[in-house]
Chain A
Amino acid sequence: GAGVSQTPSNKVTEKGKYVELRCDPISGHTALYWYRQSLGQGPEFLIYFQGTGAADDSGLPNDRFFAVRPEGSVSTLKIQRTERGDSAVYLCASSLNRGLAGVNTDTQYFGPGTRLTVL
């Protein structure tokens, strides 16, 4: 597709349930970021992938959160035993990140987000 897509757009779940959120980055983009955004705040960094590997997962709040990107394209953010405090908009971004001389490849392009509500 032309841009970053995320599914579902909305997810309502009950406390204690497991959820998966999906991100399809722009084709050919090697870098992928996950963020979450609470109302009135800027996005909060969660994890960064370069290719298939999680190069920086320092933003994951605890071990209930996990993300994968097995083929270096689509990524899934997984949240176990959801809590009400996990309610937020989860945003995904991708960038080309090719290190091409004289070319900006670091711009992050964001998807529309998944609004997660934990009841």
Chain B
Amino acid sequence: KQEVTQIPAALSVPEGENLVLNCSFTDSAIYNLQWFRQDPGKGLTSLLLIQSSQREQTSGRLNASLDKSSGRSTLYIAASQPGDSATYLCAVRQAGGFKTIFGAGTRLFVKA
């Protein structure tokens, strides 16, 4: 059974700092991995999607990497801003199916 774990559960950093959020999964048979952000009381916003054959994806100040064999993904945020404060969730879609399993998220607070 696929399990997705995100560490740390919460993180507080000063503005301008570079930071890394971690996601690990127990079953390497995945189709893709997606990172989302969720603002309080809101739905999820897609940030980056990495297909199982890819190693990383970049969008602006965000870079996501995938090491399928070790069951790990990281989301790197460069030069953090107060507007980056949100919960960041990673989700894996299982290979050969459509079920998508989410981690519990990392709550990020960027202090001005």
Contacts and interface: CB of A to CB of B under 8 A. Distances in A.
Interface of A: 4, 31, 33, 35, 40-45, 48, 50, 55-56, 58-59, 91, 93, 104, 106-113
Contacts of B32: 106
A50 to B, nearest CB: 7
Contacts of A45: 99-102
A42 B36 CA distance: 11
Nearest to A112: B43
Given A42-B4, A42-B91, A106-B32, A55 B98 contact: yes
B98 A31 contact: yes
Contact of A113 (B31, B43, B101, B102): B43
Interface of B: 4, 31-32, 34, 36, 42-46, 49, 51, 89, 91, 93, 97-105
A-B residue pairs, 7 tightest by C-beta: A42-B102, A48-B98, A110-B43, A110-B44, A112-B43, A56-B98, A43-B102
A42 B2 CA distance: 14
B98 A42 contact: no
A48 B100 CA distance: 9
A40 B51 CA distance: 27
Interface centre among A31, A106, A112 (most CB of B within 10 A): A106
B1 to A, nearest CB: 11
Contact of A91 (B43, B49, B99, B104): B43
Contacts of B99: 45, 48, 56, 58-59
A109 B44 CA distance: 8
B43 A107 contact: no
B64 to A, nearest CB: 13
Nearest to A55: B98
